[in-house]
Amino acid sequence: MTAIVGLVNNDKVYIGGDSAGVAGLDVCIRTDEKVFKKGSMIFGFTSSFRMGQLIRYKLKIPDHDPRIDDYEYLCSTFIDELIKCFKDNGYATINNNEVQGGVFLLGYNKNLYKICSDFQVGKIIDSFDACGCGESFALGALYATKEDIIDPEVRIFEALGAAQYFSGGVREPFNIVSI
């Protein structure tokens, strides 16, 4: 349960997130933020705070071989290291030899990507994306403001505000990071 919003504007990637920790009908406001910078990347996670902690504190971001493009690097070298981190730390779920993780947004080299629970790397044609239980509401707000000349952080706050208004699993305070 959460809302994570990503936006690319003028070659800068922004990711914002809420602060809700949700278990069933219980909600608590957490101080450990769901959005953060790590090396040359920014992350915004949903699914599990443990997953976010592993990415933030345990994942060793692998070197990017300059002979391969960003997308190939993320789909191969980066994802291989992410899966290894999850397996080594007891987070990955393995059923019928299929590894499952969680969902997060990733900002890297002026682009926004969504990493899904099956470790696919998604990149949509829009300059924005979202994930979490507030995803649809946030995407609607981002779509509605795509032609407006609004500060990108204001757009993200508006999208998170819409998600909070319509979803019981999204709560302020909202945090934004950029790279």
- pLDDT > 90 in the chain, percent: 85
Tell me the C-alpha distance between 141 and 123, whole Å: 19
Q: For residue 36, is pLDDT > 80? A: yes
Cα separation, 21 vs 82, whole angstroms: 23
Give the least confident one: 47-51, 58-62, 129-133, 172-176: 47-51
- pLDDT higher than 90, residue 94: no
Q: Given pLDDT bands bounded at 50, 70 and 90, which one contains residue 23?
A: confident
From start to end of the chain, where are the E strands?
A: 4-9, 12-17, 20-23, 26-29, 35-38, 41-45, 93-95, 98-100, 104-108, 111-115, 121-122, 128-131, 175-178
Structural domains of the chain in order of their starting residue, each with its CATH number: 4-178 (3.60.20.10)
pLDDT of residue 166: 96
Helix (H) or strand (E) holding 88, with range, is helix 79-88
> Is residue 92 over pLDDT 80?
yes
pLDDT mean across residues, the chain = 94
pLDDT at 66: 94
H or E element: which one contains 23? strand 20-23
Write down the pLDDT at residue 95: 84
The predicted pLDDT at position 10 comes to 93
* Antiparallel, parallel or unpaired: β 12-17 and 175-178: antiparallel
**pLDDT tens digits for range 120-177:** 999 999 999 999 999 999 999 999 998 888 899 999 999 999 999 999 999 999 999 9
> What is the three-class DSSP state of 172?
coil
Nearest CA to 39 out of 20, 18, 23, 62 is that of 62
| Residue 147: per-residue pLDDT | 85
| DSSP class of 164 | H
Burial class (CB in 10 A: 0-12, 13-18, 19+), 95: exposed
